[in-house]
């Protein structure tokens, strides 16, 4: 399944981009995605001893506040960068083997995949953290809800919590901007929500909005190809349109 949990925020608004016949453009790296990749590598290094880029540029970009915060969150069971696969039909989920960054090589075609930045399993619930660099963290909520479902099912518990952690270059450098505790009933609701969204993909039409900014299909989408119509100035009492700077 080419739509992954990271696109859940778009999927919650528009199903058209998920159609098999709608082409996606190349993913170009942006300031935010590059920074995000570095933050994830750093978190993985602190939490699990993974490979990390130690060039001065990387070191400069990381803040001591982030390292300290990660240190506090770490427990003996904490894991960074955990890929999951969810069977949409049954609601069962499993952990996938880690391969290249965010590539789900071990997933079946019908599985919906996603990666949690940081996961801590406890005996009766699982806790996940997500890092965001930038302001639009609200689009991460649908992703975190889907990841809670995946993590709870994969670790065999009936409760999950998520926290969205915004990283910034200015104070506050690290800030928990959203969190939620999701019980078993809510987990079932999330499963139903995902099933509904995917069931509506075939034959869907574009639903434009601010979410288009993050859409991988925006270059091919008929809605984003429309010319932008600017409001015209009203004519005066002589029927003439006044143009600024002229009589």
Nearer to ligand SF4 among residue 8 and residue 161 (C-beta): 8
Sign of the alpha-carbon torsion through 173, 28, 213, 15: negative
Q: Is 215 in the site for ligand SF4 (CB under 6 A)?
A: yes
Using CB under 6 A as the binding rule, whether residue 48 contacts ligand SF4 is answered as no
Q: Is 104 in the site for ligand SF4 (CB under 6 A)?
A: no
Window of 24-32, 79-87, 121-129, 203-211 that interacts with ligand SF4 by CB under 6 A: 203-211
The window from 48-56, 57-65, 86-94, 204-212 that contacts ligand SF4 (CB under 6 A) reads 204-212
Note whether 152 binds ligand SF4 by CB under 6 A: no
Judged by CB under 6 A, does residue 224 bind ligand SF4? yes
Instruction: Give yes or no for residue 218 binding ligand SF4 (CB under 6 A).
Output: yes
Nearer to ligand SF4, 105 or 200 (CB): 200
Q: Is 9 in the site for ligand SF4 (CB under 6 A)?
A: no
Is 11 near ligand SF4 (CB under 6 A)?
no
The residue within the footprint of ligand SF4, chosen from 9, 114, 121, 206 (CB under 6 A), is 206
What is the contact surface with ligand SF4 in residues (CB under 6 A)? 10, 14, 16-17, 206-208, 211-212, 215, 217-218, 221, 223-224
């Amino acid at each position: 399944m080419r739509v992954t949990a990271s696109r859940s925020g778009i999927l919650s608004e528009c199903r058209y981009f998920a159609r098999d016949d709608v082409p996606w453009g190349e993913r170009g790296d942006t300031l935010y995605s590059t920074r995000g990749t570095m933050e994830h590598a750093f978190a993985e290094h602190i939490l699990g001893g993974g490979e990390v880029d130690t060039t001065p540029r990387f070191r400069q970009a990381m803040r001591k506040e982030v390292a300290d915060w990660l240190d506090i969150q770490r427990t003996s069971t904490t894991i960074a960068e955990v890929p999951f696969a969810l069977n949409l039909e049954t609601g069962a989920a499993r952990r996938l083997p880690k391969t290249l960054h965010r590539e789900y090589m071990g997933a079946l075609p019908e599985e919906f995949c996603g990666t949690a930045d940081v996961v801590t399993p406890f005996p009766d619930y699982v806790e996940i953290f997500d890092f965001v660099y930038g302001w639009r963290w609200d689009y991460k909520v649908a992703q975190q809800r889907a990841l809670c479902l995946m993590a709870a099912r994969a670790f065999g518990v009936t409760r999950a919590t998520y926290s969205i952690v915004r990283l910034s270059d200015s104070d506050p450098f690290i800030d928990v901007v959203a969190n939620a505790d999701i019980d078993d009933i809510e987990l079932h609701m999330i499963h139903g929500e995902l099933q509904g969204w995917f069931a509506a993909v075939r034959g869907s039409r574009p639903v434009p909005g601010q979410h288009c900014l993050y859409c991988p299909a925006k270059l091919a989408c008929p809605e984003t190809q429309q010319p932008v119509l600017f409001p015209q100035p009203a004519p005066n009492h002589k029927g003439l349109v006044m143009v600024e700077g002229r009589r």
